[in-house]
Structure 1
Amino acid sequence: MPGNLKDRRGAGRHPAEALTCFCRDVLTSLGVPDEDAAVVADSLVRANLEGKDSHGISRLPIYAKRIRECRISARPDICIDRDGAVLKVDGGNGLGQVVSYKALQAAFPVARETGIAAVAVRNSNHFGAASYYCQMACREGMALIATTNSPPGIAPWGGKRAYLGTNPVAFGFPTRREPPVIVDMSSSIVARGKIILAAAEGREIPQDWAIDEEGLPTTDAEAALRGAVLPLGGPKGYALAVAVEMLSGVLSGAAFGPHVNNLYKDGDPPANVGHSFILIDVEHLMPLEEYYARLERFIREMKSHPKARGTEEILYPGERSYRTYMNRLREGVTLNPSLKSMLNDIGRACGVNL
C-alpha cells in the first residue's frame, strides 16, 4: 500500500490486508491448511472492520494456543451426512469458522435443489461473528438463520450461576444494491466477548451488563466472568437463550449448557460447540426481482418514516456495521497496546511479523 501508514491511517492503525495476512500466516505455521486459514483470517478481520472487535483478531491468541495444545484440530476430519434437506455435520473438533464454512458450502446446493437446507453441527468450536455466515448466504441470494451455543454465561431467570451460553442468533436477507439486512444479536445484554476484552484491558464494564458470583450487579469485568452475564430483556433473553441451546446443542448432538467447555479455561477438554443453520433459497418463494422490489420498498418506507426528535437518520439492521466496515477499510483497524503486545508475542513464536 503506497504512502506511510502512520501518516495515512494514524498511529496504531493497521490495514485490513496486513492483519488478514498475519492471521493467515500464524495459522498456517501451526499446521492449518492455507484455505482454512484464509477463512478464519477473513472472519476475524471482517469482525474488526465491522466494529465487532470482541469477535475479531483478539481471538487469534487463544485459537493458536489451543491448536498447539491439540484442544482444537488444525486439520479436522469433518463429516457431513445428508438426509433429504437436512445436513448433519461432525466438525471433527476443527476451528468453528472452518467447520461452519464447509457446512454452508455443502448446504448451498441442497437449498437450491429443495428450497431450504437445515444444518446441525456438533463437535465444533467458537465460530466468530454469526453475521459472517449471513453475508455468505446473502452473496448466494439466500436468506439464513444462524445460531450457536457457547460456554455458560447466562443464569436461568431467577438463578445466580451461569448455565446457558450467551447464545447468539443471526438473520441475513440479501439485497440487490444496498448492504444486506443482517440482524446479529446475543441472547445476553452484551456479548461475553466484550467482557473478556474489558478484563484483558483492565477496564470496568457498565453496571447493567453482569452479576458477580453472589448474583449482585458488578462493574468488575473479572468478577463478571466468574459470575454471569444478564440476559437481553430479562426473561425474554433467557427464553431466547434456551431456544438457541435447543437448536445448537440439544438437536445437533453437541454439548449444551454447562457441558460446553470453555476455550479460555486451561485444562478443559475440547469444547464440543454446536451450531445450526437454516438456509432459504429466496427464488423458491418468489422471483428474485419481485423479492428485491418488495425489500427495497420496505427499506425505503422504514428509512423515510417520521423521525423522533434528535434522530438524524433511521438505519436498518446491518447498515451501521457496513458503514463502519467501509470506514475501517479505508482508515485501518486500531489495536490497543495490550492486544498488539499479545499479537507480537504470538507472531514471534510463529515466525510471523505483525
Structure 2
Amino acid sequence: MERISFDPLYRLTIKILTRVGVPKRDAATVSDALLRADLEGVESHGICRLPVYVRGIQEKRINPVPRIRVRRLGGVIQVDGDNGLGQVVSRQAVSEAITSARQTGVSVSAVSHSNHNGAASYYCQRAAEEGMVMIAMTNSPSGIPPAGGRKAFLGTNPIAFGFPPTKKRPPLIVDMSSSVVARGKVMLAAKKGLPIPSGWAIDESGERTTDPKAALKGAVLPFGGAKGSALATAIEILSGMLSGAAFGSHVQSMDGGGSSANVGHFFILIHVAHLMDRQEYDRRMDQFIEEMKSVPLIQGATEIFYPGERRYHRYMERKQSGIPISEELCEELARLATHCDVEHDFLQRSHAAGTK
C-alpha cells in the first residue's frame, strides 16, 4: 500500500476528467469530493470511483456538460441535473439552498436527473462552514430488499447530518447508509478479491454470503432489519418519488446499461442564526459534546468520539502523510491515465516502489 499526496492525485483527476469533456471547474469539484472521501478514510467513495465516472461519460450515460435547470418556489428549490455528474449537480443544488436558507431560515433542495454524488458528508461539511445544519439524502440503484424480501428493491440510500463547527471543534457529521454496509464497500471487496463478513449481504437465493460477487448479484442487508428498511423507504420517497427522479428498481446503475441513472437527492438546510446567535450555538454545542465525551467508558474503550471526530483526525493525518493507494488501484488509475493520454509518472514510480 503506497501513500500518495493529495496534490498530484487532485491534478491527475482534473486532467482525466477534462480530457473526457468535463469543464475544469466541474472537474475540480469532482476531484475535491472524491479525494476528500479518501482523506477521511471512506475509500469506497473516493478516487476508486473515477474509472466508473469516465466510462459513464465515454459511453454517453453521463452528460459532462449539463444544462442544470433550477426552479424556485419560496424556500423550496427543484433542480434538474440534466444527467450531469452527481457532485456537479449537488454543488449547485446546495449553493441554491444555502442562499435561500440565509433568507428564510429553512430551505429544501430536491434534485432529479443526477448521478452518484459521492459521500453525502461532503455537502454537509460545505453547509456547516456556512453556518447551516444540513440533512442530505440520496437514493441509489436497488441494493437492499424491503423487510421480508429476498430481492433488492430499495437503494442503500445514505443519509447524512451536518452541524456547524465551533471555535473549539470541527463539525459534527453523521453519515450512514441504510444498509449494514455501503454497497461501495462490497464493490471494493469484489475488486480486490476479498471476502466480506457474514451478515453483510445475501445471494440471489436469499442465503447469507461472504462472496462479494454473489452479494452484488443478490442484495446488501438493511441495518437493524425492518428499521433500516423503513429508513431506506423514507429516503427513497424524498430523494426519488418527491424529487421527480427515478425510484426503486427504476434507478439505473451508472456502471453498465444503456440508460441514464436518474438518481435523486434531497437536501434540507437550517440556518442556525435563525434559531440562536453563533456564540450561543458554540457554547451549547461545546457543552453538549464535552458532557457526551465525559460519559464513563465501557471496558476496552479508551475514548468517546463524537460523530465525525475520527473522520476529521484521519483527514488531518492523511493531508500530511498522503492517501493510501493499493497496488491494484494504482495500476487501474495508470491504465485510465494512459487511455486518456494524461501524464502519470508519479503513479508508475509509486507502483515500482510498492513492488520492491
The bucket for the TM-score relative to the shorter chain is over 0.9
Structure 1 stretches of 5 or more lacking a match? 1-10
Task: Name the aligned partner's letter for residue 277 of structure 2.
Answer: P
- The 1-side partners of 2:25 and 2:219 are apart by 37
- The 1-side partners of 2:25 and 2:235 are apart by 29
Instruction: Write out per-residue CA displacement over residues 89-137 of structure 1, whole angstroms, 9 at most, x where no aligned residue.
Output: 0001000000000111111111000001100000000000000000000
Matched residue, 1:213: 204
TM-superposed CA distance for 1:54, in Å, is 0.2
Instruction: Write out per-residue CA displacement over residues 32-83 of structure 1, whole angstroms, 9 at most, x where no aligned residue.
Output: 1111100000000000000000000000001001111111000001001100
- The 2-side partners of 1:159 and 1:103 are apart by 34
Matched residue, 2:335: 345
- The 2-side partners of 1:120 and 1:31 are apart by 26
**Corresponding residue to 2:219 among 206, 219, 228:** 228
Residue 115 of structure 1 pairs with residue 105 of structure 2? yes
**Corresponding residue to 1:298 among 258, 263, 288:** 288
Matched residue, 2:145: 155
> 255-264 vs 331-340, which deviates more?
331-340
Residue 171 of structure 1 pairs with residue 161 of structure 2? yes
TM-superposed CA distance for 1:304, in Å, is 1.2
**Corresponding residue to 2:261 among 255, 268, 271:** 271
Task: Name the aligned partner's letter for residue 76 of structure 1.
Answer: P
- The 1-side partners of 2:7 and 2:36 are apart by 11
Matched residue, 1:249: 240
TM-superposed CA distance for 1:337, in Å, is 1.7
Matched residue, 1:289: 279
CA contact (8 A) 1:214 1:227 kept: yes
Structure 2 stretches of 5 or more lacking a match? 345-356
The DSSP-based 3-state class of the residue aligned with 1:20 is helix
- The 2-side partners of 1:154 and 1:311 are apart by 32
Matched residue, 1:8: none
TM-score by length of 1: 0.96
TM-superposed CA distance for 1:353, in Å, is 2.7
Matched residue, 1:7: none
Instruction: Write out per-residue CA displacement over residues 151-182 of structure 1, whole angstroms, 9 at most, x where no aligned residue.
Output: 00001111111000000000000022311000
- The 2-side partners of 1:125 and 1:111 are apart by 25
TM-superposed CA distance for 1:349, in Å, is 1.2
Instruction: Write out per-residue CA displacement over residues 194-224 of structure 1, whole angstroms, 9 at most, x where no aligned residue.
Output: 0000001111000110000000000000000
Runs of 4+ in 1 over 2 A off after TM superposition: none
TM-superposed CA distance for 1:257, in Å, is 0.4
The DSSP-based 3-state class of the residue aligned with 2:252 is coil
Structural mapping, 1:88-99, within 5 Å: 88-99=78-89
- The 2-side partners of 1:304 and 1:268 are apart by 54
Residue 330 of structure 1 pairs with residue 320 of structure 2? yes
CA contact (8 A) 1:144 1:173 kept: yes
Matched residue, 1:138: 128
- The 2-side partners of 1:17 and 1:51 are apart by 17
Matched residue, 2:117: 127
